Amino acid sequence: MKTLGAVLAGGRSSRFGSDKAEALLEGQSLLDHALAALRPHVDAVVIVGRATPDQPMIADWPAPDLGPMGGIAGALRHAEQEGFDQLLCISVDCVRLPADLRALLEPAPAYLASQPVIGLWPVSARHAFEKQLTESDDRSVRRFGNGIGARAVMSDFVPPNINSIADLDRLTGL
């Protein structure tokens, strides 16, 4: 299976208080950490919702500010256009991933129960994502996944969830 990786980086960082993607952890931006964490699991990587030098950028679909669902829909469209079979997505604050992430999530559709934005989606789910975004106000990735029969995968790995400077400081101290 040809897998596209997507880092969802189009959020407003309102809880964080500043641009979360550019926040530094161990001298590197959270975005750089997320890209490095995702690369070993996929055939190619894109950034969704943010333009950066030297990295392909994909727009949220159908518009910005729809949360992770809009980012995933945009990435699925790109994956389909480029001939990928599935999409592995993570959020910009996911700076560490389990070494066996893809094995945990295969076969798609599946997501980590502890953080549903970390998910493996078949490109064939694109139309269902788009329908959810255009016909409903519900933007919950978990509810969407459950509605299409995605598996909520339990894992001993608990991904970092960085919603504040205090969360970042705690991660730095580990």
Structural domains present in the chain: 3-172 (3.90.550.10)
CB-based contacts of 32, cutoff 8 Å, min separation 6: none
Instruction: Give the pLDDT confidence of 2-57 residue by residue, as tens digits.
Output: 999 999 997 655 555 557 777 788 888 899 999 999 999 999 999 999 888 887 78
Provide the pLDDT confidence category of residue 61 given band limits of 50, 70 and 90: very high
pLDDT band at 65 (very low <50, low <70, confident <90, very high): confident
pTM of the full predicted structure? 0.91
pLDDT at 107: 97
Task: For residue 23, give Cα distances in angstroms to 29, 30, 34, 117, 163.
Answer: 5, 6, 12, 20, 11
Q: What is the distance between the alpha carbons of residues 134 and 137, in angstroms, rounded to a whole number?
A: 8
- Whole-number pLDDT of residue 18: 54
